[in-house]
Amino acid sequence: MVLESMVSPEAAESNPLTIMILSFVFVTISIFATMYLSANNLASAGMLLVALVALPSLPMMLRFFDYEAVGIETKPVFGSHTLARHMPLIIVMLAYFVGLVIAFVFWYFALPPDTSAKLFAMQINEIKAINSQFSGYAINMPTLAAGTIDQAMGVFETIFMHNLEVLILAIVFSVLYGAGAVLILAWNASVIAIFISMAAKQFVLHSPGESIITGLGIGALGLVPHGTFELLSYSAGALAGGILSSALIKKLYVHPQFITIINDIAKLLAWAVVFLAVGAFLESGALG
């Protein structure tokens, strides 16, 4: 694709803003393509939209994973050679995700309300399902009551296991399709964007004097504590799977370098689980 070929791995890692702009373009093109292709049934086009966003992202991410699998040695970051080798691509993936979120939020408000409600119907239903799942919880950690602690642990376990399933999907998609995890990232970005947008609307509705920008900021801040760790987890998992896929395709398993690659993959997966646990802990506490 012309757009993705304009960004080299070296340029993207030194200037992640280009990835954010490119992901915004991907979403914009996909929005109008989805509206054209599903004009008569827009309410069921949520997954088509996500697929169209992920489709042009795949070649770009495959190039990044191929570049990353080379395993260029750099100075340690925070004492870690693994982090030093892969931090640039993690930053690129975070920039890609943030660009998607910004684009989805922008078009949610830019499109007519009726069109937005139909186009993002699947994301809205997902948010409602998540809210209803936890609406019965009322956690009060300072009381240290046995029932309250058990309840908090139940919320933590539910959130962690759900997010672990998403992480496993991201890893499997990356291993099987190289950069297949971008489909998971694109879906999560769309859900998060619509959640922030709906929260901003509710804020302005209850505070007429405030701007929508303030509402968006408050909505985003509500996700930052746990969302940051969850995003780091999915990015690390997707990166690990993508590097393994690229290494297998290149038959690097016959080279001594493969030991280093496997070591990096194991560390990335371990950190992915740790980040996921921290995110689940913060989210379970936030529900109270």
248-277 confidence digits (pLDDT tens): 877 777 777 778 888 888 988 998 899 899
User: What pLDDT, on a 0 to 100 scale, did the predictor assign at position 181?
Assistant: 76
Where the chain has pLDDT below 70, the residues are 1-14, 65-85, 131-152, 178-180, 205-211, 219, 285-288
Interior CA angle at 199 toward 187 and 210, to 5°? 140
CA–CA distance, 197 with 277 (Å, rounded to integer):
26
CA–CA distance, 274 with 162 (Å, rounded to integer):
15
User: What pLDDT, on a 0 to 100 scale, did the predictor assign at position 178?
Assistant: 64
Q: Other C-beta atoms within 10 Å of 238: how many?
A: 30
**Whether the Cβ atoms of residue 60 and residue 68 lie closer than 8 Å to each other:** no
User: What pLDDT, on a 0 to 100 scale, did the predictor assign at position 34?
Assistant: 92
User: What pLDDT, on a 0 to 100 scale, did the predictor assign at position 241?
Assistant: 84
Beta bridge partners of 80: 77
User: What pLDDT, on a 0 to 100 scale, did the predictor assign at position 27?
Assistant: 95
pTM: 0.81
User: What pLDDT, on a 0 to 100 scale, did the predictor assign at position 140?
Assistant: 43
157-212, pLDDT tens digit by residue? 888 888 898 889 888 888 877 666 788 888 889 989 998 888 888 877 666 666 67
The DSSP secondary-structure symbol of 179 reads S
Positive or negative torsion for Cα 177, 179, 184, 187: negative
User: What pLDDT, on a 0 to 100 scale, did the predictor assign at position 258?
Assistant: 79
User: What pLDDT, on a 0 to 100 scale, did the predictor assign at position 81?
Assistant: 65
Domain boundaries, position 233: 2-286
Backbone angles phi, psi at 83, to 5 degrees: -65, -40
User: What pLDDT, on a 0 to 100 scale, did the predictor assign at position 177?
Assistant: 73
Domain total of the chain: 1
Burial of 276 (0-12, 13-18, 19+ CB in 10 A): buried
**Whether the Cβ atoms of residue 270 and residue 232 lie closer than 8 Å to each other:** no
